[in-house]
Structure 1
Amino acid sequence: MRNTTFLRAGAVAAVASLALVACGSGDDDAAGGGGESKTLKLALNQTEQHPSFIALENFGKRLKESTGGRLSIQVYPNETLGAQQETLQLVSDGTVDLAIVSGTQLENLNKDFSVFNMPLAFTSVEGQMKVVNDPKTVGDLYSSLESSNKITVVGAFTQGTRNVYSKKGPVNTPADLKGQKIRVQESDLHTSMISAMGASATPMAFGEVYTALQAGVLDGAENNEVSYVTQKHFEVAKYYSRTNHLVGLDYLVVNSDLVKGFSAEDKAAFDKEWAAAWAEHTDLWGKETDKAVAAAEAAGAKFNDVDAAAFEAALEPLKAKFLTSDVQKKLYETAQAAG
């Protein structure tokens, strides 16, 4: 059972502790290329077994080596520093240096991010990664929050294909979701997405989902196979239906003042090691997805395919509702063309 009250209290204590450490460390010169070292604090809402944690841990090790110890990364998993909405604000404030946040969090700050959160925008992880880590395509988008929020988007990890899972039974068509309370990320787009798929959308922080499923507050949720297993949601919602409605995204965000203070040498090392991190993560994702499905099936979870055409038809109207500017339409066309 997930103790979310404990997590919130822990987040407050952890952030307070980090602030004290920052005040006493005297290591800020390292970010500008000085001789001292700086450990960057990175917030993550996943477990230590998740591909994101593994790739980020390795990112930090390589960065430390590449900069001769001037920069390193400590990853705080399991929402230790708070839920994503909280850690995004902490990065903006400069209390936390880096965080992994879902696309829906950035969509709430700039609607142009909603393009890559659109259902059916991407049809493959490979096409997705080609677009979202291409500076020529996303450069303006990723710098759009710097002046208003002091947040720079570094790049993105895939969340893989997201699907629906339920306590009540297999889902084959949108009609099977009628009346079911399905957890959704905190976003107007994703609330509309789940509603279009036939369910009652229930926005909720990620760390609260297990308990809500267990208590009957939720009937199901939508997520990828890896998170379904690492968060043990298969224990309380054993029917996993491959709606393939979305190839999700997580973004790495950094405090803009911090990254602008990097020396040219350290910035080059940071960018190089980040490119290696998302490539490693993508490779891990495929392998861990296969393992997750096998583990869930062994524990009694049931996987099924759905009427894909029925879900595509239900989701089609969202394009007209949410793609309203020329910038958004162009980004969407780029995503579609990537396959």
Structure 2
Amino acid sequence: MTEIFERRRHEATKDGKPTVRTHGRTCLVATASVAATLVLASCGGGAESTGPAGERSLRLALNQSEEHPSFTALDHFGDHLRENIDGVNLDIYPNETLGGQAEVLQLVASGAVDMAVVSGAQLENLNKDFIAFNVPRVFDDIDHQMDVVHDPQITGELYTSLEEDHDLTVVGGFTQGARSVYTADGPVQTPDDLAGANIRVQESPLNVAIAEALGGSAAPMVYGELYTGLQAGVVDAAENNEVSYFTQRHYEVAPYWSYTEHLIGLDYLIINSDALAGLSDEQRAAFDEGWTAAYEEHAVLWAEATEEAITGAEADGAEFHQVDEASFAEALDGLVEEFVVTDTQRELHNAAREAAE
């Protein structure tokens, strides 16, 4: 499916891209069509924005910038839909324009926003079974991760588990790459080097436990506040991937990157369940085809962006350091047993591990 987008990556943006609008800080409108039936009766005037006659706009919330691979892949996803289904525009709102992930999760559930990209930790807060894919070392690499999270034999019931109580359906996942620690005051070699450090994490018991296993104290914080938090010394460290580290310019205030690689993170594309159910079979086929191409392209872009991020951050003074892998592996050992506790969670975790063999 990736070849669907290859030609677009080299097209001129003036003639090949749809109209650009500004929403809050910034937003690209990827003219797409998921079908007029995708607009919810419950939206009122909230999620739906006006446009040319016969067209409607659907909102997709993203917490990353326009330079991020997620934005690029979703932009091309919109192009694919525009070419295959008529009638609806997809408005991508990057940079947390519509709020933090916890907020947009509620907005999608209510129908005020149609789609969003949210982290696995956010879905874990709604259904603990998602924790099976959030624990350290469940995935060997990105290819393994993408195979698992897009295998309906493994994820089918999990991805529909939020529909009844939350009106949310999980479409699939984007990789966050391997996550490591970065610090303001010096590199890390062992967990002892993080003793006393406040590490920014997403708010969930597992992420708190990961921060503590890494040697520090957990400091839950909204992603958009992290730069100033590091700058002001509210937090001493954070954990993320190289791409976010570079695109959010966190290397300016935390220039020491240490390759703990404690887990391979995962973002999910979610959609309001009523919106997805409104697609005809033909529309759903086009939607699924476009999404497959999007996550496959995203994985390619991710590898490229990771290399570019390392080069760019190093050029601006960031330092990248190896760690004592054995000491971190020992520190993280036991988190699977502690957090993967139900039969369903164990089945999901075991299925993921078996897919690597």
TM over 0.5: yes
**Contact 2:47-2:113 at 8 Å conserved across structures:** no
Alignment partners' CA distance in 1, 2:320 and 2:155: 35
Tell me the equivalent position of 1:37. 55
**Contact 1:61-1:72 at 8 Å conserved across structures:** no
Residue 129 of structure 1 pairs with residue 164 of structure 2: no
**Contact 1:172-1:306 at 8 Å conserved across structures:** yes
Tell me the equivalent position of 2:64. 46
Tell me the equivalent position of 1:15. none
**Contact 2:50-2:57 at 8 Å conserved across structures:** no
**Number of aligned residue pairs:** 316
Residue from 159, 166, 180 that aligns with 1:149: 166
Could you list the runs of 5+ residues in structure 1 that have no partner in the other structure?
1-9, 12-17, 28-34
Alignment partners' CA distance in 1, 2:47 and 2:246: 35
**Contact 1:38-1:70 at 8 Å conserved across structures:** yes
Residues 304-325 of structure 1 deviation map (CA, whole Å, 9 limit, x = unaligned): 1111111111111111210111
**Contact 1:169-1:239 at 8 Å conserved across structures:** yes
**Contact 2:63-2:95 at 8 Å conserved across structures:** yes
Residues 226-270 of structure 1 deviation map (CA, whole Å, 9 limit, x = unaligned): 000000000000000000101000000000011101111111111
Residue 199 of structure 1 pairs with residue 216 of structure 2: yes
Q: Matched residue of 2:317: which SS?
A: coil
Q: Report the AA paired with residue 339 of structure 2.
A: F
CA RMSD of aligned residues (A): 1.8
Q: Report the AA paired with residue 137 of structure 1.
A: I
Task: Please report how far the alpha carbon of residue 178 of structure 1 lies from its aligned counterpart in structure 2 after TM superposition.
Answer: 0.4
Residue 249 of structure 1 pairs with residue 252 of structure 2: no
Alignment partners' CA distance in 1, 2:263 and 2:224: 21
Residues 193-233 of structure 1 deviation map (CA, whole Å, 9 limit, x = unaligned): 11111101101111010000000001010000000000000
**Contact 1:122-1:338 at 8 Å conserved across structures:** no
Identity, % of aligned positions: 53
**Contact 2:171-2:268 at 8 Å conserved across structures:** yes
* CA separation of 1:38 and 1:265: change in aligned 2, threshold 3 A: farther
Residues 178-203 of structure 1 deviation map (CA, whole Å, 9 limit, x = unaligned): 00111001111011111111101101
**Contact 1:42-1:75 at 8 Å conserved across structures:** yes
Task: Please report how far the alpha carbon of residue 333 of structure 1 lies from its aligned counterpart in structure 2 after TM superposition.
Answer: 1.7
* CA separation of 1:271 and 1:23: change in aligned 2, threshold 3 A: closer
Residues 23-67 of structure 1 deviation map (CA, whole Å, 9 limit, x = unaligned): 67499xxxxxxx943322100000000000000011011111111
Task: Please report how far the alpha carbon of residue 135 of structure 1 lies from its aligned counterpart in structure 2 after TM superposition.
Answer: 1.2
Residue 331 of structure 1 pairs with residue 348 of structure 2: yes
Alignment partners' CA distance in 2, 1:274 and 1:23: 22
**Contact 1:83-1:206 at 8 Å conserved across structures:** yes
Alignment partners' CA distance in 2, 1:324 and 1:129: 24
Tell me the equivalent position of 2:74. 56
* CA separation of 1:23 and 1:153: change in aligned 2, threshold 3 A: closer
Alignment partners' CA distance in 1, 2:156 and 2:47: 30
Tell me the equivalent position of 1:186. 203
Q: Matched residue of 2:309: which SS?
A: helix
Could you list the runs of 5+ residues in structure 2 that have no partner in the other structure?
1-23, 26-42
Alignment partners' CA distance in 1, 2:49 and 2:312: 45
**Contact 2:62-2:94 at 8 Å conserved across structures:** yes
Tell me the equivalent position of 2:35. none
Q: Report the AA paired with residue 251 of structure 2.
A: F
Alignment partners' CA distance in 1, 2:286 and 2:293: 11
Alignment partners' CA distance in 2, 1:199 and 1:189: 14
Task: Please report how far the alpha carbon of residue 19 of structure 1 lies from its aligned counterpart in structure 2 after TM superposition.
Answer: 6.3
**Contact 2:49-2:58 at 8 Å conserved across structures:** no
Alignment partners' CA distance in 1, 2:306 and 2:351: 26
**Contact 1:145-1:152 at 8 Å conserved across structures:** yes
Tell me the equivalent position of 2:135. 118
Q: Matched residue of 1:288: which SS?
A: helix
Residues 95-126 of structure 1 deviation map (CA, whole Å, 9 limit, x = unaligned): 00000000000000000001111011112000
**Contact 1:194-1:201 at 8 Å conserved across structures:** yes
Residue 265 of structure 1 pairs with residue 278 of structure 2: no
Residue 285 of structure 1 pairs with residue 316 of structure 2: no
* CA separation of 1:261 and 1:311: change in aligned 2, threshold 3 A: same
Tell me the equivalent position of 1:32. none
Alignment partners' CA distance in 1, 2:351 and 2:186: 37
Residue 236 of structure 1 pairs with residue 260 of structure 2: no
Q: Report the AA paired with residue 57 of structure 2.
A: T
Tell me the equivalent position of 2:242. 225
Task: Please report how far the alpha carbon of residue 334 of structure 1 lies from its aligned counterpart in structure 2 after TM superposition.
Answer: 2.1
Superposed, 1:7-22 pairs within 5 Å as: 20=45, 22=47
Q: Matched residue of 1:249: which SS?
A: strand
TM-score normalised per structure 1? 0.90
Task: Please report how far the alpha carbon of residue 22 of structure 1 lies from its aligned counterpart in structure 2 after TM superposition.
Answer: 4.8
Q: Matched residue of 2:326: which SS?
A: helix
**Contact 2:47-2:114 at 8 Å conserved across structures:** no
